[in-house]
Structure 1
Amino acid sequence: MSETPRSSRRVATDPSISRHARRRRHNPFATGLRFVAGALAVLLVSGGTVAAYALWDVVSSVKPAVTLAGQDPNIPSIDAIEGGVNLLLVGSDSRQGQGTEYGDPSKETGVLNDVTMLLHISEDHTSAVVVSFPRDLFVPIPECPKPDGSGTFDAMSSQKINTTLSYGGLACTVLTVESLTGLRIPFAAEVQFNGVIALSNAVGGVEVCVAEPIEDDYTQTYLAAGTHTLQGKEALQFLRTRHGVGDGSDLGRISNQQVFLSSLVRTLQSSETLGDPTKLFGIAKAAAGNMQLSTNLANLNTMVSVAMALKDIPLDQIAFLQYPNAYGSSGGQQGVLPLDSAAEQLFDAIKADKKLSITGTTGVGSVTDPNAPAETETPVEPETPETTPPADASAPSTTPPPAADEAVELPDSIEGQTADDRTCSKGNN
């Protein structure tokens, strides 16, 4: 059953955060406090020698990059990136180089992208959307180049999307999502378990609400009802838990992850993070040292530019959505099938940079926070009495067309929330 549409609503952002995402700053030192380039923030509070070391430390942490198909070699200057952005974030279940804490690496038979998220930033940098693709979503996989350059993998008509990383690496996952969505994706990043730990530590933890106790023996996630600030291993366990939330499925895990992600965005946009050079440096260091980045993203200028495009977007205009799907099977395997009509509506709206109005629920792994601050209702202006005669029914309509920035109401089969929506994880009892 669908809920009442939660139309996009414009809210005032923190007044301590300046709003110039697309304008070049005259003072590069002040700019350093506004984006994830932590090394530049250190420049403000230390001497040139320390700042130079910090900058080198971040840059030298970047791992060897992955080349995507048809990459644009141009690197932006340090300012908000021009135009829209499409970036794919992949969470790998690989245990390689992760020790034995998450399982025996010698028993791993493949590397799966159990988390696949597409970030789209609008052309004018006033809205953003993150679409999560269920790991068991059956999709066509296009012909993919082999990571070692020795040839290509054949195209497949229907496979689970989380197999793409094992077939052809990050580049194959990008090609698959491009084919599925019709969007060009020039930026991509892959993160493993230790990377999630490092990033959550860098921001100083993320506050999450738990509506019902979470008990998951598989990931060792045990959280009582209430509010928790999670970082390190606890944050990773929370993001990995599937059996402990919702209906125990990957779909419940996605909505549970969106509880964390929306809170993370609120944390990142807060003055406590933007104004703390130590946190900014830690975020840049963690991202550079714990992610496998595409060639275009493995550059400090690019990372800074993308972050600057995001930093001033109002919370109610940052949406976290689940790719529309329904349980089904393909080739004798159980999984989820795409709902093509709903997906087409979603990505048509994304390509047109339309604001989005979510009408579906938040998902089976989360519920609305009952203690969330009440919304302030806008006073309704009294209607002006009709003073003109009714129009001739046979005359052409003079009703104005919808405004260009009017929100597109998504079908209720698309679940999700905005970063402004306060939600709680729903335990699987």
Structure 2
Amino acid sequence: MSDELRPRSIRSKKLSTIARHGRLRRSNPFVTVAKVLAASLAVLLVSGASVAAIATYDVAASVQDGVPLANEAESAEFEIDAIPGGVNLLVVGSDSRKGQDASFGPVDSTGDLNDVTMLLHISEDHTNASVISFPRDMYVPIPECPDPAGGTFDSMDSQKINTTLTYGGLACTVLTVEKLTGLSIPYAAEVQFSGVMAMSTAVGGVPVCVAEDIEDEYTNTYLPAGMHTLEGLEALQFLRTRHGVGDGSDLTRISNQQVFLSSLVRTVKSASTLSDPIKVYSLAKAVTANMNLSTSLNDVSTLASIAVALKDIDLSKVVFAQVPTGLVEGGVIPSQPDFDDLFAAVAADDSLQLAAAPTAEDPTAEDPAAAPDPSAETDPAATPAPDPAATPPAAVLSDSVKGQTAGDVTCSAGRSLEDQ
């Protein structure tokens, strides 16, 4: 990666921000349909449905050897039906340079850390889903983990969660999150830099909204306020940037990733993607060729059946959330009882509802006059009351749980070099 800085001499006008996301003026209708995934997650699953649709030998042949987990589900037979019951799937993003482009640095320049750790949960009745992020600097207990080379690693009382991949591989990260949340996680996937780049390129780029200029010399990311369609290296660096967003912390980086992922979800589910055989094929190939999957997930039929389970979930019922944490020296720890309450709601299959969800801003809507007039009178009889029996239980989370739904079109809150 080049160290040369190319700050922009003319900076765009600063725009107001909301919560941890930025807010940009409304312009024209944006795409509003989607499915779940995440810098790996969203694409991993939705493209699975595409795999089922095309089921080519080339895609199936690109599936790599799986990683055995301590608690695995059996692979599904090949079919296009939704997987029965609920799903817990852990996706980790590794910072390893092994097998990556030389521009990311020498192979031994970093360890193999899970700098991104996200849990996808699909409810048993397939009416809601959540993608929950764990900060990389969160101190957690690590249980005994199998050593990939043989034997067992001892448990540890308190280590940062992003060391688990180095400690005992993907299986150890899964065991740690299971112990932390009380959930059984039978599926897992690890994605590296090349995988994120390939998936963003496969969909033809991901549109993101930037409320204030993003300037980050560490990832060489310079984006002026406005709309940008990111793919390849640009998309990866947008997800990696920390110094260029919010307050420069890993917590605001997670918020920035949610902006990207919610847009990725809409892009993948849009007609322009699913009706394009080349994009469908490219997505399927990007997933199977660029991810290290658990053996339970390591075939196209399982990927497809999980994707189909997500297919009809409304965007408002797909929630991206960051676990609640409190600051300690050198990192963060789970904030109780809010942390346990969050995962109790997940275990109960409740539809998660954020207490302080960001205002959904449509950055392509140009006519503010087209918005409903809040002062206008409405006829109560014109809107039938919802049927409680048809509405799944909802759990209103503490306002310490930050996030957004896949239907919220939000903007990244940028940070300039002069503010760093």
User: Do these two structures clear the TM 0.5 threshold for a shared fold by scoring above it?
Assistant: yes
Corresponding position of 2:202: 202
Corresponding position of 1:102: 104
Deviation at 1:360, TM superposition (A): 3.0
Instruction: Give the partner amino acid of 2:98.
Output: Q
Deviates more, 1:368-377 or 1:164-173: 368-377
Corresponding position of 2:353: 357
Corresponding position of 1:343: 339
Q: How many residues align?
A: 367
Corresponding position of 2:95: 93
Q: 1:191 to 1:16 in 2, by over 3 A?
A: closer
Deviation at 1:337, TM superposition (A): 1.1
Q: 1:285 to 1:341 in 2, by over 3 A?
A: same
Deviation at 1:76, TM superposition (A): 4.0
Secondary structure in 2 aligned to 1:244? coil
Please give the per-residue CA displacement for 1:387-411, whole angstroms capped at 9, x wherever unaligned.
xxxxxxxxxxxxxx99972421110
- For 2:33 and 2:231, the matched residues in 1 are separated by 26
Corresponding position of 1:117: 118
Instruction: Give the partner amino acid of 1:70.
Output: N
- For 2:137 and 2:250, the matched residues in 1 are separated by 8
Please give the per-residue CA displacement for 1:211-241, whole angstroms capped at 9, x wherever unaligned.
0000000001110100000001100010000
Deviation at 1:36, TM superposition (A): 3.3
| Identity %, equivalent residues | 57
**Alpha carbons 2:91, 2:118 under 8 Å: kept:** yes
Instruction: Give the partner amino acid of 1:328.
Output: V
Q: Structure 1: where are the runs of 5+ without partners? A: 4-13, 20-33, 43-53, 384-400
- For 1:281 and 1:93, the matched residues in 2 are separated by 27
- For 1:370 and 1:232, the matched residues in 2 are separated by 24
Secondary structure in 2 aligned to 1:172? helix
Deviation at 1:38, TM superposition (A): 4.3
Corresponding position of 1:219: 219
- For 1:327 and 1:107, the matched residues in 2 are separated by 28
**Alpha carbons 2:50, 2:304 under 8 Å: kept:** no
Secondary structure in 1 aligned to 2:48? coil
- For 1:180 and 1:133, the matched residues in 2 are separated by 11
Instruction: Give the partner amino acid of 2:409.
Output: R
- For 2:107 and 2:86, the matched residues in 1 are separated by 39
Deviation at 1:300, TM superposition (A): 0.8
Deviates more, 1:96-105 or 1:409-418: 96-105
- For 1:318 and 1:56, the matched residues in 2 are separated by 32
**Alpha carbons 1:16, 1:271 under 8 Å: kept:** no
Corresponding position of 1:298: 298
Question: Given the alignment of the two structures, is residue 410 of structure 1 paired with residue 397 of structure 2, yes or no?
Answer: yes
- For 2:161 and 2:141, the matched residues in 1 are separated by 8
Deviation at 1:99, TM superposition (A): 2.9
* Aligned Cα root-mean-square deviation (Å): 2.8
- For 2:250 and 2:171, the matched residues in 1 are separated by 24
**Alpha carbons 2:145, 2:168 under 8 Å: kept:** yes
**Alpha carbons 1:35, 1:274 under 8 Å: kept:** no
**Alpha carbons 1:356, 1:410 under 8 Å: kept:** yes
Secondary structure in 2 aligned to 1:316? helix
Corresponding position of 2:85: 83
- For 2:212 and 2:406, the matched residues in 1 are separated by 21
- For 1:161 and 1:144, the matched residues in 2 are separated by 13
Higher relative contact order (CA 8 A, sep 6+): 2
**Alpha carbons 1:357, 1:409 under 8 Å: kept:** yes
Deviation at 1:15, TM superposition (A): 11
Deviation at 1:372, TM superposition (A): 6.8
Deviation at 1:369, TM superposition (A): 3.4
**Alpha carbons 1:216, 1:243 under 8 Å: kept:** yes
Rg (Cα) greater in structure: 1
Question: Given the alignment of the two structures, is residue 132 of structure 1 paired with residue 128 of structure 2, yes or no?
Answer: no
**Alpha carbons 1:41, 1:277 under 8 Å: kept:** no
- For 1:139 and 1:70, the matched residues in 2 are separated by 20
Q: 1:327 to 1:380 in 2, by over 3 A?
A: farther
**Alpha carbons 2:141, 2:176 under 8 Å: kept:** yes
Secondary structure in 1 aligned to 2:309? helix
Q: 1:103 to 1:421 in 2, by over 3 A?
A: same
**Alpha carbons 1:141, 1:157 under 8 Å: kept:** yes
2:361 to 353, 357, 369: 369
Deviation at 1:353, TM superposition (A): 1.1
Please give the per-residue CA displacement for 1:147-195, whole angstroms capped at 9, x wherever unaligned.
12x2111111111000000000000000000111111111100000000
Corresponding position of 1:257: 257
Secondary structure in 2 aligned to 1:101? helix
**Alpha carbons 2:214, 2:223 under 8 Å: kept:** yes
- For 2:286 and 2:147, the matched residues in 1 are separated by 28
